[in-house]
Structure 1
Amino acid sequence: MRKTGRTTMQTNRKTATKLLLVQWSRFQNVCIRLEGSTLFTGVNGSGKSTILDAMTYLLTGNTQFNKAARDRDRTVAAYVRGDTKSNGPERYLRTGEIVSYIAMEFWSPVDRASMVAGVCIESADDLSYKSSWFICRDTVMEQLNFTAVEGKTIRFTPKQELAVNKRKLKSADFWGRERGVEQVLRALGLRCDAAKYRSRLLKMMAFNPENNIDQFIQECVLDPGKVDSLGELREQKRQFEHIKDMYESLRAGRERLEEVEQRAAEYERKLKSLQIREFMLCYQRLRDKEEQQQRETQQKEALFHRQSGLEERKKELDRQYEAAGERYRIAEQNDMARGMQDSIRALEGQIRTADEEIHKYEEKREAVRKLQTQLSELLEWAGELHGLTEDETQLLRRLAEMGAAKDQKTEAFLHASEVFRRQGRAFEKEEVHCEDHMEQLGREMDELEAKIKLLKANRMVFPAGVEQARRMLETELTRQGLQADVRIFAELVEEVTQAEWRTAVETFLGRKRFYLIVDGSCCHKAMEILRKKAVHGVNVVLTDRLPDTPVTPGSAAEILKIPNLYARRYANYLLNAIHLCESEEELHAYPKGGLMKNGMLAKGYAVSCMDMRRTDACLGGDSIRLQLKKAEEEKERKQEELSDCQKEADGIRRRRAQIRSVNWDAGYYDFQAAARLEDHARRKDKLLEDLERIRSNPDFLAILQEQQDARQEYDRLRAAVEAAAREIGSCENERQRKEEELAQISGELYILNQDYSEACIRHMELKRPMLEEYESLTKGKAGSRQPVTQKTVRRLEGELKECVRQLEDAQLNYCKLAGIDINRRGAGYIPFYREEYRNIANIRIEEVHNRLKEQGEKLENAFMNDFVAEINETVREAREEIETINRELRNIPFGSDTYRFVMRKKPDRDVFFRICKRLEEYMDTPEVYMNSARDDEEMERDIREFMSVILNEEDETEYTDYRKYFVYDMEISSVQGGKEITADLSKKQGSASNGEKQTPYFIILAASLLQYYPRQVCCARLVFIDEAFSALSRERIEQMVKYFEENHFQVFYAAPPEKISSIGAFIESTVSLVTSGRYTHAVEGLAGAALRK
């Protein structure tokens, strides 16, 4: 029988010939012979599905057992233990440590040999188990010691003792599930994905036809295509939204902080203004008190001079009084003749004294007149000086004249003395500055003269350090035996071809024009010389490292004609990237490097205006002429500047000489000399009249008159002496009062000085602006020196409080937005908010913006490179798979009908297909498009639209399962009356019989399996059908069985006994499953024998 069976086996099919079940469910040790396709039949619960589950577990590692019955309680552990699903201790047929085997024997007509594939399942307890797959080639089932009979018991061989012809299998001969299934499939000639193959087998085994052909094709023909990248895409989207929220929050925070900064800046301006005004008020009080002290001191000095004058006057009056007394005594006591002579002598003595007084006061008057002349000359150019009032100026111009009080003249003179002495010190400083400037100009002119001489001698002038370094390098290189020229870059430029660009280009090059150029072979030696000699401020170009690049058209390098190789390379390196621009618009177009004739420079995305005024021409053959012209012009300008400075110095010296020529000692002058001189002249005239009268009227009446006159003169002088004494006493009292006031002022001034010093220390940075503002406010207001008042300070204090209120409101708004402590308010927290602003505006917002941009790119890349690419790839694979099935279907007609799958794009997925269509222009690779310019606006719009739809879809399978991008149908073609008729299966669903409805579904599943069973390859062609053909008529069953057999499938059917006549009659082997006690046995051929009878 075995031989006969094998002769009927297919030549291109590896056929299963035996199935062994050891301790698997109710099968204790059952070996079943398989002759081609086999029907397993029996009553419900006899184990039909159990056998199919065992074979699919061995072949594919399937654990979705009894799928047709939707029984989820069946597991490997339950099968191994023999779970009867009953209650009580007898639930499991087996307990303890259990070893189970599932093994199948296959015959290969190509190899003309058998092989056994099996799986050993070891279970230590109710829940755990370990499966180990193995393959034994050139082996039949009987050669393996799965079990052994020991007396009346069966011993189940442990895995480590399993042997083939007594040769134990090694541990390396066993594999885990994944590797084991892969090896079994390969041994069976199958080169396919185990998961997909398992899925196809299970769909056929758990056949469940749908009224909806579209749904059936999706679920039973095409593998689920859930794209795992959607989770990643949603995560990228979530991160993008999170970062976007962070960015928007930071932007809002920055706006709030900018408002806080505005309020803080306004507060600080107000605070600074208040502090300056308070500082100024303190300074103003100090200045007012100092001026009061100065006025009081001047008044005291004036009183001193007045008292001195009065004391001198009193001495004069005392002498006159004494002489008058003597005259009066002589007139009263002497006889007439003697008295007359004595009177004449006395008068003559008084006249001589008067002459002396007149002479003295004439000298004093001349001194005051000279002073008046000198002051008038000084006032001619000192009118712009601050400090002298108009009244004081007019008084100083009339010092020698009568009319003004002596005290007023003295105070005006003392004030002028202070002003002009201060100006004299200022002139002294200006004179020193002028002399220094003239000395500097002299040195510069000497240098220019030397430079002009060299240029006239046609010698280029370079910085002294460069020339010195060049000579030193040449000397050292020569000393080392190297004959190399050391040249300056500037002298190697033969010509500037466009003279209008010269100044701009030379200004840009700057000191690089004077870098030293040596031969490339000497660069390293030159470096050593610079290091050893410690030469500073000189650069040597590393000519051996310079790239050899061509001149860039339109660049600054293009206008320089340089024959020297190394200088040419260096110029190209420096100037090739600098484009010569004619306009600012053109300059804006070259942000990395652009230059205009006016010195505008764009470099490194920044623009600046170079100062070209001090740039000397050094490049090109005409540079000497240009330098000479500029040097001569500079010399002429310096000469004019020196002449102007000399004139200014002479003027300063003259004014200083005028100031020094004045005797500023107030005690040297008597501002009442004119009045005193007039008084003494009148008195002398009176004495002369008296003397003349005595001499011309010698009678007694004259003597009497003399006595009367002497008495009157005596009385008058006595009254004058007493009045002078009283004035001296009054001056003394006034001086004492002034000293007391000055002492009080000094104390007050000390306190004010202390306050001002503290203010200077407290607000040192405000001192200069305060003084400048104070001088500005008091300029030209000598009489009203009150630039700030207490009222101004109080007003500013009110404005400052308002600024604080606005500042705290702005800070509160930010605290609420940022979720920080709202008590962080007030001027004291300004540094905190500025630090917040710096962190947000300069760091965090940039970081988050970059992260947002990066995350946006990640989101789009994840969408395109992962999601779209993955869907596109699976769609392409599905189309290829459907096309492959269609090719198989063309070759396996069912009667007169042929079948063909139809895939139509869903209209609501059109945006996806538009994207994929455009991706064809980018090698069908999203990555290529994402790395391109991305200037296709329609494509970008489609991408955004599709991504938005996907990310907002609640049912993610709508877009992650590629199968839902199409509508599926089955096109049936049949020949009727010599004419081919086609119809869609979906349109025949309502009119066809139940059998007609189910038949296409079997054909669809069979066609999908044929993908894994190539015709030209000898391989297993297994099909499992549980609850087979439950709704088909006998005719349809016969057609289906023949269809499977004609296409070389080895089908294992599981069906109830009533299907034996309709299925078993058309296949080679039927196995009946019979339950005996708690176990099930297999009876081969029982049904076939019964049918033959």
Structure 2
Amino acid sequence: MKQLTRIRLINWHLFENTTVTCQGTTYFIGVNGVGKSTILDAVQFALVGGQREVKFNQAAMAGSQRTLTSYVRGELGAEGQRFLRGDATAVVALEFRNPDNSYFVHGAVIDAYQDGRSPDVTYFIVNGAPLNDNWFFRTEGQLFDSRAFRRHLEHFALPDPQARAQLFTRLEDYRFHLLNRLGQLKETFTAKIVKGLAFSPLTNIRDFAHNYLLDENLVDVKTLREQLETMRHFESLAADIRQRIESLNQIEEQDQERRTQRRLRLTNGYLRRYAQSDAYLADLKKFRLERDEKTIQLSRLELQREALSEQFQHATNALIEAQIALRTDATAARDKALREEIAQLEAELSTLRQQETLLQQTLAREHADAQRLQTFLLADGLEIPTSLQDFVNEDASRFTPHASRFTPHASRLSHLQTDLQTLGHTYAEQMALLQNESRQLRQEAEQLQQEIHKLRTGDRAVGYDTAAPESSRLRRLLRAELGLSADEVIPLYEALRVPDEAWQNAVEGILGRTRFDLLVPPEHYDAAMRLYRQRREKDNLHGVGLPDADRILKNARLPLPNSLAIEVETTHPAARAFVDLLLGGYVKCDTLEDLRDHRTAVTRDCFVRRNFTSSHMDPRHYQRWFIGERATPRQIEQREEQLTVIGRKLAELQTRDTALRERLALTRDKVLGYVELARDLDLLAHRPERETRLAACRTELAGLDTQSLTTLQAQVQTCQAEVDRLQKAVETSGESIGGLKNRLDTLTQEFLPGLERQADEAVQEARAFLVLEEAEELLEDLQKEYERRRQRQPLETVLENATRYESDYQNAETRSRDRLREAKQRYSLTYQFGYDGDEDAARYVRERDRYVESELPQYEARIAEQRAMAEHELVENFIHRLREQIEDARQQLGYLNTTLSALRFGGERFEFITRPEPSLRQVYDMIMDSQAILGESLFESGFRQRHQAGWDLLFERLTAGPDEALTELRELQDYRNYLQYDIRIHYPNGDRALLSQINAKKSGGETTTPFYVAMAASFAQAYRLNQPRPSDTIRLALFDEAFGKMDTARTASALQFMVDNQLQVLLATPPDKAAGLLPHVNAVRTVVRQNNHAFVIEIDKTEMLKELEEGIKTKNKELVS
């Protein structure tokens, strides 16, 4: 075995330069706080390395805050001196002796820093040489730091040519080589070292068994999973082939359905066309009969028309003779002339009376409107024209329809028309001015609405563009020409803010237009000024300020203590200096009286004093805020107030607009009406003349002799009636003849030739239909079907049914063809099978036959072959392997139980027990029953049926995807998961109990003992002590504050158990535990502390035992006395 011989500590907490010798089981004894745990932590750090896994001083306090830095710098925690050292270098080294008496040393050199940086660590392993201080010290008392140590040791001449030094900066490399050097230990060794120091009651036996007793050894399932995956692959291929065959069968069925529907469509299509031909022949026969009948009827009507024409000619001659006699009579001529003149005069007088009535109504309305206009003129303070006054004063009842009374009004209306036109022009000018004002207000309101919207959406530049357009234009010009960003060219107000709202008005007012001065970077100032000078006239940039930031900063001065400048905050250095320059001289005052005490001052309500002169600033200069976050809400509020004022002004303008429109309606709009009124008055002047002429014509008409005239008129009326009757008869006869001729022409030229042609075409179409559909072979069968239907049904029924059924079967065929096409497309897309445009599915049927006869049998054969390979792999390398591992685990625990059977801890005996894990019992039973597997197929055997649930769980996890259920599969790969672990306690009286059941019910000593038993077993397993041949490994076991809650008997038994298991135990306890431990240790080391330094003193174990025995005897005597 490899035995620890020396521990070297330099600058390790309170140990400044200490070497601790170890002989077998070494016992560190000392009161609390002297540094026992510090030594064990150093050993732990050298064996484990790093800072994440090492747990310093855990036995003293769970969650201890000790760190590697605190150990190296010597953290004291005292108020006056927290650390012993500043930047420091520490050395921790362990020396081991091999069975051949050669040595190897390993450890670390650590640099810690007082500025809080992480420590720098160099790990080392020196093979074939004992511990040598020359490795670490540059000179006496002066250590190499970690980097210098690496360079020094790489070139250090070791005494033995076979000796070799290895240096590491990566923990992983150090740990890998160290575990090999310590005896080819496994990686779990480091966790066991930490567990022994960080004592905690043994509460979870399963985790302890997994982590500290039984090594992880997962069964390799890669080959098995690959074989199962291959089998699943072929099964999926076979399933895919079966799915393809099923899809192709459906395609064939749909093709058969299409063929059936096509045959029915062809049958009814042919029958419809052939029946249509017979229908045309039937119509042809009917129209030929109608043609013959119409020809005879036409001959009769032509004879009747000739007779009527002759009678009409005689009647016409008689009418002409009567009319000539009437026209040559003088009385008749005068009667006609008088009657025509009377009718004309009556029409003209009727129109004049209507015009008179309308004119009278118009004059009344105009009189009322003239009164309203007079009222408006009085209200407007305008002079009332004389013509309007005369018209208003005239009595409206005098407006009569006699020409003599209307004549005076015509001249007055002409003057009134002129005056109204003048007034209308005046009101029109006022309306134009009012509309212009209203339009300007609406445009302003629209602009304000847009600005409010932009301000609410975060566009602060709106108010800036409106208040300082010249500054805004110059800013855009500077950005465009000089390539500056928006943050590099800003108006002064954007860089400022005023925390106290009470002084906002004063700041805004004093700064005034200076708020819009543009701040540019000093390095661009000259270029900005040149550009400003070039474009000042062209772009109207007058009045914009460009503060010279460089000069302002160089000439900056502090503001007065109570100046207005201190109310302004900014992070912009140039803006700060500029504001101090502008506002630093204005002293803040609370009252007007205070102003008088200063030359330059200002109050909150914007009274300002300059050169001992006080005044109040114009609110227009400060009411619109631009500085700080309150500026936007204030600008929105001000614009909303302006909108309210504009709304009131628009309402007032609307009232004025309505009044002006009323006045324009009574002046300008009346001019044309008065022109028409004057014209109508002139026309009414002719009415008396028309009435006199009408009376004269009526008198003359009444005096004519009309007896001969009456006789002639009666004769003309009689002849005219006969002519009208005969003319109507002739016309009626002609219409009848024309209708018959049209009908005969239609029958002869259209119907009969058309039906003959259609009948022939229908027969030809029926045959061509079959030719086009490539179904000529059906002609004979279809003709027979037609004859059968004609025997049972009338022609109309046959035609009607065939027409309807052809459409139905056409739709049915289309649907079946679409379904077939979709099925073919779906198959082609799903299986990358080239789609064809064929009507049928012959190509797909051939594909189905190939799958059924060739590919499917091949895949089924491959599946059977792959299943056999998977069965063999499953049985030999998974099930049997797990069974062997489970049995081996029980054997390991049995070996520990053999050792424990002879030991008593306070009269109690401990035994590790196992039983199947309930959650995996089904898989466990299957594994342990695997010897029953014979030569039959595992997948179809009785073994599988007996363990179906376990089989299903196993295959569910084995066949999961690469990223699915990996944790669950790992659970089945780990043999340790198939067992439950516990410790059975045998009491002296024969009773037994399980540790898992009594953990929370027993005393500290009873529950602490299993921890040390389990840890000893864990170390024995780590060092492979349970093998027939002893292994060449270290045998270290570290226990801090050991056996604190155990009585003397249990303590002695636990330590004896560890020694009997060939462990080299390093343990640390206070002195009160020494009596029970000294007989079982090989060496005793006392740890003492003086001030801030700790030391280790070697104690003779024999002398210490004697002192303890004498002390015990003395106490016993005292008790007896």
Smaller-chain TM-score bracket: 0.3 to 0.5
TM-score scaled by structure 2? 0.41
TM-score (norm 1): 0.41
